[in-house]
Amino acid sequence: MKEAHIDTNTNVTLHDVPIPELTDPHHILIKVVVAGCNPKDWKMPAGLLVTIGLCPNSGDDVAGIVAAVGSAVREFRPGDRVAALHQLGAPHGAYAEMALVWDHTTFHIGDRPFEEAAAMPMAYYMASIGLFGMLRLPMMWQRPHGEEKPMPLVIYGASGAVGSAAVQLAVNTRFHPLVCVAGGSGASVVEPLIDSSKGDVVLDYREGSEKLVENMKAAIDEHELNHAKEDR
């Protein structure tokens, strides 16, 4: 099969390589239709992310058709339309005709376009780390339904890939009011995702720092703000 490699100078070259083999019962082989692209995909080969294993095929966001599954895979079968997050730094990434992924990082996409699906895995992974790992916010199943105690949350860069994923996760976990910071046309991306009836707002950082802080205080009202996340 064909596989794209990125070198330390971020040059891309095509190579003929063997099709990956299923070496673990929980592996899934995906025929790649669309591969997503992230800044880390060039930062890794450039040596800027030294904590992540090096691999010339650094693509990790993949959407396509299941070609084969390991013996322990139960929820997927050949022919399924799926997307997945490839293991960072491992071989057989998304920049190839076939990618090797784990079943626990794979999800069904139904009729969703492959282009949309390929934009989801890394963004939601990073948003989840930020909200539930770094900020230690309770996860969806840790907040009983009917628990509507206000939990204000500020999300900077809310119109970016990770930021908008964080907004959607926060809404589903019933964090309100959400104070979403975006600029210009970014507001049109965020507004359909929030619930204004719960006090959620989108603020434009271009109005200046003082105005932004003033609007944040108004949106939070008398509630105490303990959590903020920034999409970098």
What would the pLDDT profile of 150-188 be if each residue is shown by its tens digit? 889 999 999 999 999 999 999 999 999 999 999 888 899
Confidence of residue 48 (pLDDT cuts 50, 70, 90): confident
Q: Where along the chain do the CATH 3.90.180.10 domains lie?
A: 2-117
What's the CA gap between 171 and 165, in Å, rounded? 10
Q: Over 80: is that where the pLDDT of 11 sits?
A: yes
Over the chain, what is the mean pLDDT? 91
Provide the residue type at 131 as one letter: L
- 95-147 pLDDT, tens digit each: 999 999 999 999 999 999 999 999 999 999 999 999 999 999 988 888 777 66
Does an H or E element contain 67, and which?
Answer: strand 61-69
Backbone angles phi, psi at 13, to 5 degrees: -130, 150
pLDDT of residue 188: 92
Contact 36, 116 (CB under 8 A): no
* Structural class in CATH, domain 2-117: alpha beta
What's the CA gap between 132 and 100, in Å, rounded? 27
DSSP letters for 96-127: BSEEEEEGGGEEE-TTS-HHHHHTSHHHHHHH
Q: Over 70: is that where the pLDDT of 51 sits?
A: no
- 70-84 pLDDT, tens digit each: 999 999 999 999 999
Confidence of residue 229 (pLDDT cuts 50, 70, 90): confident
pLDDT of residue 41: 84
- 186-197 pLDDT, tens digit each: 899 999 999 999
pLDDT of residue 184: 82
Q: Over 90: is that where the pLDDT of 7 sits?
A: no
Percent of the chain with pLDDT over 70: 96
Q: Where along the chain do the CATH 3.40.50.720 domains lie?
A: 125-230
Q: Over 80: is that where the pLDDT of 39 sits?
A: yes
CATH of 125-230, one of 3.40.50.2300, 3.40.50.300, 3.40.50.720, 3.40.228.10: 3.40.50.720
pLDDT of residue 52: 67
